[in-house]
Amino acid sequence: MIRTNAEVQKEYTICIVATTILAVAAYFLSPIACVSVIATAAVLIFIRIIADIRRYRRIADLSNAIDQILHGAERVDFEEYREGEVAILSSEIHKMVIRLREQASQLLADKRFLSDSIADIAHQLRTPLTSMNIIVDMFSDAELSDEKRFDLLAEMMQSLNRIEWLINTLLKMSKIDADTVFFEEKEYKVKEMLQRAANSLAVPMDINGVTLKMSVPEDAVIRGDMMWTCESVGNILKNCMEHTPSGGLIEILVKDTPIYCEIVIRDTGTGIDPEDLPHVFERFYRGKVALNTSIGIGLALSKMIVDRQSGTIRATNRPEPEKGAQFTIRFYKTTR
């Protein structure tokens, strides 16, 4: 390797030329001085050659270790390089290898997540599409009554709405993941935001016989993006409505402090199974008491929106003896 290194050859050439010049100069002073200069230079050059050979051997070993990693070796020991420039180089390479392995592991996890997500999306789309295909076949029956046709049409509209909601929600989540969503930094009243979120569910709540009750201070404010927060709260309200029986109650309690604004949404439904509590905000997760129409992305989107606005969200069950789920959202004022 030394023979093929032009830089090292240049250094040796300079050393030899410098030694020759010094030897000639010393010869005019004394032959003995000339011999001493040549001998000293020869020893120094020899030591340099030995050191270079040792260093290049270590570099060759390090290169071989890198080659092993590139060919799939799981473990290569870099600890033997303890001194000098090679040690610094090996340390940096070791850090790079660890980082590359972490990235490879993360990419593999992302690939698996993407694969699972695509499978979940396909499954969620397949159900309404299958239902719609059956309905279309039933429409071809000439003896089908008008009343039955209207019922089938209503079912088809419901399936179409479900597909539209799924696609829109997935698009919103992908935009947030890609950091292409701009969250406004404006101060707005909490009561106005909650009323907007509740208005979109007024009709379904009335049909399901669920009552909504709010206790909100008039001066409670949050700084952030009102429309996106409304989306987050609306998904939580929708989840509570779907798990609250007819005659049940959904309450929204707001507490405004100098440090944070807290929004508590709780229902009188079936509650959340303890095994499901750590996973309720995971994408496509469906708990033990999930409805057949549940997709498992509404709460995940809610958490993404809250997190991107420096807030926190937590799901629990209401304390005994009360039953039902409880979601607590906090937007901290001191961190905004």
* pLDDT digit string, tens, across residues 147-167: 888 888 888 888 888 788 888
Pair 147, 191 in one domain: no
What residues pair up with 326 in beta bridges, in sequence order? 266, 316
CATH number at residue 133: 1.10.287.130
Pair 206, 302 in one domain: yes
Instruction: Work out how many domains the chain is built from and give that number.
Output: 3
CA-to-CA distance for 276 and 285, rounded, in angstroms? 9
Pair 158, 206 in one domain: no
Whether 266 maps to a domain, the answer reads yes
What residues pair up with 261 in beta bridges, in sequence order? 256, 331
Pair 230, 155 in one domain: no
Structural domain boundaries enclosing 68: 6-76
Whether 52 maps to a domain, the answer reads yes
- Which residue, 92, 90, 83, is CA-closest to 59? 90
What residues pair up with 325 in beta bridges, in sequence order? 317
Share of the chain above pLDDT 70, in %: 69
- Residue 190 banded pLDDT, cuts 50, 70, 90: very high
- Which residue, 217, 213, 303, is CA-closest to 267? 213
Which of helix, strand or coil describes residue 295? coil
Domain boundary among 153, 177, 201: 177
Stated pTM of the model: 0.63
Q: Considering only CA atoms, give the Rg of the chain.
A: 36
- Lowest mean pLDDT segment, chosen from 3-7, 201-205, 251-255, 323-327: 3-7
- Residue 298 banded pLDDT, cuts 50, 70, 90: confident
For 42-86, write each residue's pLDDT tens digit: 767 667 767 667 777 777 776 777 666 666 665 655 555 555 555
CA-to-CA distance for 55 and 50, rounded, in angstroms? 9
Pair 309, 235 in one domain: yes
Query: Which are the contacts of 112, defined by CB distance < 8 A and separation ≥ 6?
Result: none
Pair 201, 303 in one domain: yes
Token digits for 13? 């050439």
- Residue 35 banded pLDDT, cuts 50, 70, 90: low
